[in-house]
Amino acid sequence: MENYTSDSSDSENSVKVIDYAYLLLNPDETEDKLEKYFDEKKSFELVEKLILHHNQLITLPDSVYQFSNTRVLDISNNGITTLPDVFKYLPLTSFTAKNNLLTCSSIPKSFEKCLSLIELNLSGNKLCHFPEQILDFVGLKFLYLGGNGMVEISKNIWKLQK
């Protein structure tokens, strides 16, 4: 039986997925693979899911921003210490960055540009208190922050309620 990828689908409008999970790619290897995909494929704008969990990333590769229609981004289980403002450049609905090394100071100070985010998972990081900038996600429905060692949640959490 032939291997199946989302590229081999017979539907031109199907959701495209780039899945580089569990490859233990270092930052340069990840950047190279994404650049190669971007250079070779004419349908990069159809990529809606970018799965990069279980690699050796310490920050998000710049080439991620070329996939301008990405809706789902999973960068879990890496060694990410700094989170650039991906929400400013990508129309994400789901962002998962659990089990990394993120601290409150390594998260962007504002997320005002992102109106589309529905699910945010920052569990298992090193957040010592509730990041108030999360309140900028006006459409957020699912928030996961367990395993961070926070001692209290912001009294303004009610602002996320719909």
Domain-located, residue 153: yes
Q: What is the DSSP code (8-state) at residue 113? A: T
Q: Is residue 8 part of a domain?
A: no
Q: Could you list the residue range(s) of the whole structural domain that residue 123 is in? A: 13-160
| Count of structural domains, the chain | 1
Beta bridge partners of 95: 73, 120
Specify if 1 maps to a domain.
no
Supply the pLDDT for residue 50.
97
The CATH number linked to 81 is: 3.80.10.10
Looking at residue 91, its pLDDT comes to 93
The segments of the chain whose pLDDT lies below 70 read: 1-15, 42, 162
pLDDT recorded at residue 4: 41
Length of the chain: 162
Q: Is residue 27 assigned to a domain?
A: yes
In a domain, 3, yes or no: no
The pLDDT of residue 9 = 47
Write out the two tokens for 114: 């992102």
CA-CA distances (angstroms) from residue 24 to 29, 55, 75, 88, 121?
Answer: 9, 4, 12, 27, 21
User: Is residue 35 assigned to a domain?
Assistant: yes
Say whether 142 sits in a helix, a strand or coil.
strand
Inside any domain, residue 84: yes
The three-state secondary structure class of 4 is coil
> Other C-beta atoms within 10 Å of 162: how many?
6
Residue 36 within any structural domain of the chain = yes
Predicted pLDDT at 13: 54
